[in-house]
Amino acid sequence: MRLEEYWGVGPKTRETLVDELGNEAAIRAIESGDVRALSDAGLARGRATRILRRATGGSGMDVLATSDSRAAYKDLLDLAVDHAVTQRAADRIRVLTPLHSREAMDDRLDDVLAARDAWADLAEADRTAVLEAYERYDERDESEHAAVEAALALLAAGVDSGPFAAIADLEGETLREAAEALAALDGDRVRDGADDELDRLRDDLGAVEDMDANALALIEDLRSAGIHDAEGFRQSFEDRLLTETDVTIDRVRDAMPTDATDATDFVGGTLRTLRSDLTEAVDEREQTVANDLEAALADARDAVDRAVEAVDDIALHLSLARFALEYGCTRPAFVEGDDAAVSVVNARNLTLAARDDESVQPVTYALGEHGIPSVPDGVNAVPGEERVAVLTGANSGGKTTVLETLCQVVLLAMMGLPVPADRAEVTPVDSLVFHRRHASFNAGVLESTLRSIVPPLSTGGRTLMLVDEFEAITEPGSAADLLHGLVTLSVDREALGVFVTHLADDLEPLPPDARVDGIFAEGLNPDLELRVDYQPRFDTVGRSTPEFIVSRLVANAGDRTERAGFETLAEAVGNEAVQRTLADARWTSGE
């Protein structure tokens, strides 16, 4: 395959990759999802990630039918990356995409959940040892040597279950020998400290080179000792060489010229010959040592390759396991065939949970032929099996959060990852249409929105529609007509969908296979903050609660004139309701 055939690789990008990596290495980097290799070659990290997502999971990216779907997908990856144990694992997480194969989803879930259970069972000291091993691995740029050392550290930690089993099967002694060989080699060069004889020869060569660089000063030093005859000078020079180096006397004498015309010629000739002899000796010894080390590595090659692969895979699965544990994620069940469903029991919104928001309320919700036999306390009924729902209710009542939570659950499940719910059922979809509320009121926004959310319903594949306050982009009358059409089209095409709106009354009559659910505000708390039950009530129309908002404005008015203005609004929405709301808030506070 030619580089230009990969998505996002044009002539300029191809030239950059070929110049820095070479054609074959660039292809290998793309096929293996190596973000670091592409970014080191000069591509912006974001661009490298986009290229690799398309190269390794292009059809999966097609599931993300809208810009909001893609944004939700990227937000999920960012949350998972926060738990990566290495940079390489973070890069691999960034290029995960929705999968089309149920087998692939199950395989990844098996790996991640096995890693989750193994990590949860580890003692704190063992967890620390594992993380420290990966920290050292990361600091050393995830080299082959670093991978072997990490494998040895994992063996020493005694972790051998779940994903760590691949390491437990490796022979420790073989890895230790390989680690010594890898530590000794730096490309074609043998590192200092790897061989005593090579170190001695290098030290001798260095000392002779220093003498040669300062030959005139050396001659003056010898003469200053009162030595003027040729034999005495030769003997003193020989003694100096034997004292300051470990060069043998035979090598020194063999290097001394017999036809030197003066002291300068004699010293220079000797040192040049010694440099040449020692350079040759260093090269020969280095080659011998390198051959021995490479032979040892060849014998251990299978173990090294298995260690590199295992350390890398464990890092990925361990990172995803830590993410799953952080948010209490569980395995989703997949619903396929003629049935279709998206259902969650006590699902948590990850965006809110990541903020350490203790007020996050789990929600139970379902679309389609789900298998929820009963619901937790506080849920008014088992949800019906309608595939399409209209979600109504209070301002700031969490309707958008419900959509986002369902989007997160479906995306994670399709990526083969556990989901933040006590229980979940998911039908993999061909198109995920997530549309957030966009308060831009013009024809261009309406047209572009319709162009993004309608075509997926017309392709014939399974579609999940999660549309938030469609009415925000056009006038209410037209919005109600268009939204009714979208709901009807979703029902006709057997899509799954939730449509958030304040126009429930204007949508009647809905198709028989669609239902209306509601979220309700319950008043103000003592701090005059809106109290909302974020759990939707099924087959119940939720109502906006402007009286609660106006009540808060009346109570917080800064002066008499301002208060009078808000009291006028209170009369408009129902002064009795406003006063009752304020009384309830005061009663709750104990006043």
Give residue limits of the domains in the chain: 99-327, 332-544
Number of CB atoms found within 10 A of residue 588's CB: 13
Lowest mean pLDDT among 137-151, 436-450, 525-539: 436-450
Residue 588 has pLDDT above 60, yes or no: no
- Residues 340, 427: contact at Cβ < 8 Å? yes
Residue 31 has pLDDT above 60, yes or no: yes
| Global pTM value | 0.81
Query: How confident is the model over 251-304, as pLDDT tens digits?
Result: 999 999 988 888 889 999 999 999 999 999 999 999 999 999 999 999 999 999
Pairing of strands 423-426, 341-347: antiparallel
Of 15, 37, 145, the closest CA to residue 95 belongs to: 37
- Which amino acid does the sequence have at 445? V
Strand partners, 342: 367, 426
pLDDT for the residue 475:
73
In percent, the amount of the chain with pLDDT more than 70 equals 92
pLDDT for the residue 589:
46
Cα–Cα–Cα angle for 346, 348, 350, rounded to 5 degrees:
165
- Residues 392, 519: contact at Cβ < 8 Å? yes
- Which amino acid does the sequence have at 102? R
Q: Which residues contact 561 (CB under 8 A, 6 or more apart)?
A: none
For domain 332-544, give the fold.
Rossmann fold (3.40.50)
Q: Which residues contact 78 (CB under 8 A, 6 or more apart)?
A: none
Q: Please indicate whether residue 242 or residue 568 has the higher confidence score (pLDDT).
A: 242
Angstrom distances, CA of residue 518 to CA of 42, 379, 504, 544: 52, 12, 10, 10
Residue 166 has pLDDT above 60, yes or no: yes
| 416: its two tokens | 């083969």
How confident is residue 525, by pLDDT bands cut at 50, 70 and 90?
A: low
Query: How confident is the model over 390-405, as pLDDT tens digits?
Result: 999 876 668 899 999 9
